[in-house]
Amino acid sequence: MKIVSTDPSNGHAELGSVESSTKDEVTSAVAAAHRAQKSWAASPLAERCGAVNSFADVARHRFDTIAQLIAAETGRPIASARTNVEWGIGYLNAQTEMAEQHLAPQDVYADDSQIHRVHFEPWGVVACILPWNFPFLAVAFQCSQALIAGNAIVYKNSDYNPLFGEMLGDLIDHSGIPNDTFRVLHGGSDVGMWITESDIDMLSFTGSSSTGRALAHLAAKRFIPYRAELGGSAACIVFEDADLDAVPQQIFDSRFMNCGQSCDAIKRLIVQESLFDEVITRLIEIARRTVVGPALEETTEIGPLVSERQRDVVESQVDDAIGMGAHVVFGARRPDGLEGSYYEPTLLTNVTTKMRVWTEETFGPVLPVVSFATEAEAIELANDSTYGLNGVVMSQDRDRLDRVGAQLKVGMVSENGLSPHSPTSPLGGYKFSGMGRT
């Protein structure tokens, strides 16, 4: 069966197709990975790091081609697609630099008669199932550490961007990573289930909470370790002493990057009453001058959603909010003159905690905004979610940043617009946002 790739910027015109992997091909790939893993794990760490660095070098050589494919297939603006590839290469190189320190045996106890030493060993074959929204960077996040540590990888890409998966296989083939050590498979949820039910030793998944929970059941039946980074509904708390010259743009960039299709984007904005009107006014000004357009145009700042189906979901969430009394202060419409799954950046006020834009993950360019009076109220609103991936606090009071951040039930807290992401930092969340860390 063919998996068709389409262009969300251009009426979903066909870009190409890839053959979906069969169940027999999944079984064969896992068996080949097991055979390759033994010699890979036995090779010196420096050799494994060199192979991963060679993959980064191949990607650097094809930098523009990778970025253009990401933009065409997913609707991510070309400038952002380039950043995705740049960050991914940076993560690959950084992880190889840190590997010796983190994988070296550690003496945890010693006295005159004994030494207790911890050795780090690979699991074996790790299945990595990845989403479409951060294609190259996700490979660096999710696959490279396991690969460097001596595991073999069986990888499945999203069926939204199958051509990227095909390109990834070609990049690997032209790198120093040995044959069968990193196997790429193609397909939808059926292929993901076949992989999970196959003879793998560990499962690593990034994607929706519903799929992640289903895979958790399968991993539990197999009694294999499972790491999941799932959806998020990050709250951003803006206190009255926040830097208004910087905060609105930081909020806008976080929420609407990649048309709002990011698990750790700000998805709920909680503003102290005294700043509420000013923050809304400034966000509207930014939205008015933001360029919405085709992903491959250099001036585009917000591209389309990845699919018509995803836009339909976002529209239904906004319609639900409007029907329950939310006020649209900007957007909530399809822009004129563009053929594709476009949706304007949307700002909603008069939002209640019963609306779907609050209770669900809104994976699109929509930002609900509420006000608060007290610090305790802000924390309660921020924690009012089944998700707990990350949170944001905006204030110039150091004690307040520490105090509030410590009370947010999330895996990562960023302050004043700083990113929580770094090759040195763990990534993951609480509640329905997943389990485990990279």
Which residues are identified as catalytic? 229, 263
User: Shortest CA distance to 166 belongs to which of 18, 377, 52?
Assistant: 18
User: Shortest CA distance to 317 belongs to which of 240, 257, 260?
Assistant: 260
Instruction: Give the span between the Cα atoms of 359 and 384, in whole angstroms.
Output: 8
Indicate left, alpha or beta for 312 from its phi (over 0: left) and psi (-120 to 50: alpha). alpha
Instruction: Give the span between the Cα atoms of 398 and 270, in whole angstroms.
Output: 19
φ, ψ at 134 (rounded to 5°): -130, 65
Contact of 201 with 123, CB cutoff 8 Å: yes
Containing H/E element for 80? helix 78-103
Q: How many CB atoms lie within 10 A of CB 176?
A: 15
Contact of 382 with 391, CB cutoff 8 Å: yes
- Altogether, the residues listed in the chain come to a count of 438
* Tokens linked to 86: 């740049």
- Burial level of 163, CB count in 10 A (0-12/13-18/19+)? buried
CA dihedral angle for residue 219, residue 222, residue 223, residue 225, rounded to 10 degrees:
-40
Q: Is the dihedral of CA 59, 60, 66, 71 positive or negative?
A: positive
User: Shortest CA distance to 98 belongs to which of 145, 58, 151?
Assistant: 145
**CA 372 to the chain's CA centroid:** 29
User: Shortest CA distance to 409 belongs to which of 385, 434, 435, 383?
Assistant: 383
Instruction: Give the span between the Cα atoms of 371 and 352, in whole angstroms.
Output: 11
* Tokens linked to 286: 């930014």
